[in-house]
Amino acid sequence: MGLKGFVEGGIASIVAGCSTHPLDLIKVRMQLQGEKVQAPTPQPIHNLRPAFATVGTTATTLHVPAPQLRLGGPISVGARIVQTDGVAALFSGVSATVLRQTLYSTTRMGLYDVLKHKWTDPDTTHIPLAKKIAAGLIAGAVGAAVGNPADVAMVRMQADGRLPAAQRRNYKSVVDAITRMARQEGVASLWRGSALTVNRAMIVTASQLASYDQFKEMILERHVMSDGLGTHVTASFAAGFVAAVASNPVDVIKTRVMTMKLEAGRAAPYSGALDCAIKTVRAEGPMALYKGFIPTVSRQGPFTVVLFVTLEQVKKILKDF
């Protein structure tokens, strides 16, 4: 039972992650809107005409103002990505998504299933909501710790296209991303933002999995619908909305911490999660923590629907194994 839960959850998570990847990419780009990007160090411009140069100097430093960042909603952000880099750009970092779902979601889904069965009351065949939430918190924390390297790689690959061409990391794949991060920034960089990843995963897993089970039980107990596709879709979409509301602030901070660029001789943009949260709120207001909320809901809804509908079907296929 235990191992099968990991396999079922892993298959459903990979299918859901790949099918909703473009929405996740748009969400990441929107979460980074308004963030101040460190401009490259100004370079001296030589051989300027005397009228533009200071007497007695051989070079003048030219400061070029940073281009104004264009803001927009999920549709305009997605359209801009397609216009600039092509349709394939919507799947930037999809290899990291596959690895992340394989490590993170397989672990959290399987562990949640194990804990849920262990804590289910044999007399009522139900598990109290508090225990569902506890199972989600534990499963999410363990899964996030296992999958953090892939999560960092995925976020960086998704965010790369927003940078000027000269500043892009241009990772070829998730393996290339993880290898270069470990070599250039140290192995510890693979767990950058891990505290945020763990916190977000605990919130998402507890709210998503626990609320799905709770909504499904409520629908069946009240005989609103039978145990079929309609029930699965309704319960999973409601669970996706709950997870999006609960996790978006942590997700914004996680995205910014993971994508910050470190340059030798310059202080890091953020010293940690709390510093990032404070600077974000001060510079952009409290609602900045809900940037990308529409694509988060747009992604969490379909992701959760695909996840649980696929999971229910996979369970039927593997029920005799």
Residues 96-142 have pLDDT tens digits of 889 989 999 999 999 999 999 888 877 767 788 999 999 999 999 99
Q: Quick one: average pLDDT of 167-184?
A: 90
CATH number of 2-35+72-317: 1.50.40.10
The pLDDT score that the predictor gives to residue 311 is 94
**Which is more confidently placed, 106 or 159?**
106
How far, in Å, CA of 112 to CA of 116, rounded? 6
Q: Quick one: average pLDDT of 141-149?
A: 92
The pLDDT score that the predictor gives to residue 59 is 43
The pLDDT score that the predictor gives to residue 114 is 93
Residue 70: is its pLDDT beyond 70?
A: no
Residue 287: is its pLDDT beyond 50?
A: yes
Dihedral in degrees, nearest 10, Cα atoms 140, 21, 303, 238: 90
- Token pair belonging to 49: 């005409």
The pLDDT score that the predictor gives to residue 36 is 61
Residue 85: is its pLDDT beyond 80?
A: yes
247 contacts 200 by C-beta, under 8 angstroms: yes
The pLDDT score that the predictor gives to residue 309 is 93
The pLDDT score that the predictor gives to residue 234 is 95
